[in-house]
Chain A
Amino acid sequence: MTTEATARTVPYKEKKPFDYDPYLRQGKLPHIWCAGCGHGIVLKSLLRAIDALGWKNDDISMVSGIGCSSRTPGYVDFNTMHTLHGRAFAFATGVKFANPKLNVIVTTGDGDALAIGGNHFIHAARRNMDMTILVYNNYIYGMTSGQGSPTMPEGAVSTTSRFGSIEPPFDTCELAKTAGATFVARGTAFHAQELEKTLYEALKHKGTSVVDILDSCPTYYGRFNKHKNVSEMMKSIEKDGTISVAQAAKLPPEKTEGKIVRGILHRAERLEYCDGYQNLLDRVQNK
């Protein structure tokens, strides 16, 4: 299955560059994200994955809450909704329930999904409704100038932890898995081609897919935590701070300690919510 995506995407070399234009609202560019913000890299990986799947713009609904990451739907020519802080999952649930044929994608931030939206996040995962959730995880509330989010590592500096955070962070993937999501993965903006393949699998999966994506907020997290520039930040957090599932499997545990694991971390088959509802209708209406 992975090979399908690989076959199209890897040999960019001999080809023309990827054409993003058919998926974008041209009049909205340049986007509002700061110089070096990882959100644009994530969006591009997502568009390439959608292209590999051959999905039509009108068959996609992208829903978001509030935050810099939640600005994503504004730039794409899909059926889009920019909703309330933390409530994207509730709106997305309504969209999917009203029209199960739509491919529903939620773009959210670590703050939007796991702080104010934590309740909606776990219940979306529990229901296993067919939707793909991209958590743009930059450890911080970018839009409101750098308050710490529930994923911020211990010791990290933010507007709300000037001397270093004393809170243990959430692991987005563990949380999603425990709550019942049937596809759970992690990627980074730095590993953009790998992310594209992970997103391809996540989009194709029937049920709730959650992809935790480490990306950089150089403007707040970077400056507060003394990263020289965004490239150095991407190198230390996303490149050197992570390890793929395949690499991790080959190494002894002491070599992988402290590294965040990328790749597909959990996959399960379970009745999807709209199918479950259809079963209920069949049972109640026919007998």
Chain B
Amino acid sequence: MGEAAKKQWRIEIDARRCKGCNICASFCPTDTLELKGITMDVKDIDSCIGCQLCDIRCPDFAIQVFPL
């Protein structure tokens, strides 16, 4: 469980496109995302595993996950 081995990710959310449907957050396997007001926000970036499921299910082209 070496901490150094864990891959890091950066999540970009386009607030002009996000409509706050919450699909990404509800199906994120690690509970990384959370709605803040009417747009999505990152709750805990360290928990992200980079699976890209949030991006794949985002209907609005609003979220992307980049490897660091």
- Report which A residues bind B (CB closer than 8 A): 12-18, 20, 24, 29-31, 33-41, 44-45, 189-190, 192-193, 218, 229-231, 234
In the complex the two chains form, what is the Cα distance from A40 to B64 in whole Å? 15
* Contact present for B67 and A30 (CB under 8 Å): no
A40 touching B67 in the complex, CB below 8 Å, given contacts A13-B52, A35-B20 = no
A230 touching B17 in the complex, CB below 8 Å, given contacts A17-B52, A192-B56, A193-B56 = no
Asked if B36 is an interface residue, CB under 8 A from chain A, the answer is no
* Contact present for B21 and A35 (CB under 8 Å): yes
Q: Determine the chain A residues whose CB is within 8 A of the CB of B26 once the complex forms.
A: 229, 231
- Report which B residues bind A (CB closer than 8 A): 16-17, 19-23, 26-27, 50-52, 55-61, 64-67
Centre residue among B23, B27, B50 by max chain A CB count within 10 A:
B23
Smallest Cβ distance from B47 to chain A, in angstroms? 16
A13 touching B50 in the complex, CB below 8 Å, given contacts A30-B16, A39-B59, A190-B57 = yes
Q: Which of B16, B52, B61 contacts A20 (CB 8 A)?
A: B61
Q: Determine the chain A residues whose CB is within 8 A of the CB of B67 once the complex forms.
A: 14-16
The B interface is mostly helix, strand or loop, or mixed, namely loop
- Measured CB to CB, the nearest residue on chain A to B20 is A35
* Contact present for A17 and B16 (CB under 8 Å): no
The A interface is mostly helix, strand or loop, or mixed, namely loop
* Contact present for A30 and B60 (CB under 8 Å): yes
* Contact present for A36 and B57 (CB under 8 Å): no
Show 23 residue pairs from A and B whose CB-CB distance is below 8 angstroms, ordered by the A residue: A13-B50, A16-B66, A17-B64, A17-B65, A24-B61, A30-B19, A30-B60, A33-B60, A35-B19, A35-B20, A35-B21, A36-B19, A36-B59, A40-B58, A40-B61, A41-B58, A41-B59, A44-B61, A189-B59, A192-B56, A230-B21, A231-B26, A231-B27
Q: Determine the chain A residues whose CB is within 8 A of the CB of B65 once the complex forms.
A: 17
